[in-house]
Homo-oligomer: A and B are copies of this chain.
Amino acid sequence: MSLPTLSAASARAGAVLTIDLAALVGNWLKMKSLAPAAETGAVVKADAYGLGAARVAPALAEAGCKTFFVAHLDEGIALRGALPQGRIFVLHGPNPGTEADFVGHGLIPVLNAPHQVAGWAAFAKASGKPHPAAVQVDTGMTRLGLNPTQFEALRADADTLKAIAPCLLVSHFACADTPAHPMSRQQIARFAEYAQGLPGVARSLSASSGILLGLDAQFDLTRPGIALYGGNPTNAAENPMAPVVTLSAKILQIHHAAAPQTVGYGATHALPAPTRVATVSLGYADGLLRGISNPEKPVFGTVLGTYKARMIGRISMDLAAFDIGEVPENLIAPGDSIDVIGKYAGIDALTEAAGTISYELLTRLGPRLFRVYTNGSAP
Residue positions of A touching B, CB distance < 8 A: 8-9, 11-14, 45-47, 50, 71-75, 91-93, 95-98, 101, 112-113, 115-116, 138, 140-145, 147, 174-175, 178, 181, 183, 250, 252-255, 257, 261-267, 277, 279, 281, 284-285, 287, 290-291, 313, 316-319, 321, 333-335, 355-357, 359-360, 363-364, 366-368
Contact = CB atoms under 8 A, between A and B. Distances in A.
B281 A92 contact: yes
A1 to B, nearest CB: 9
B360 A290 contact: yes
A96 B115 CA distance: 57
Given A73-B12, A175-B267, A112 B143 contact: no
Contacts of A115: 333-335
A140 B262 contact: yes
Given A142-B257, A364-B364, A367-B367, 4 more contacts: A71-B281, A112-B252, A113-B253, A290-B357
Which 7 pairs from chain A and chain B are nearest by CB?
A46-B285, A285-B363, A113-B253, A71-B318, A142-B263, A12-B73, A290-B360
Contacts of A356: 290-291
Contacts of A14: 71-72, 92
A98 B115 CA distance: 55
A116 B284 CA distance: 24
Given A144-B319, A252-B144, A281 B72 contact: yes
Give the most central of A254, A355, A366: most B CB within 10 Å: A366
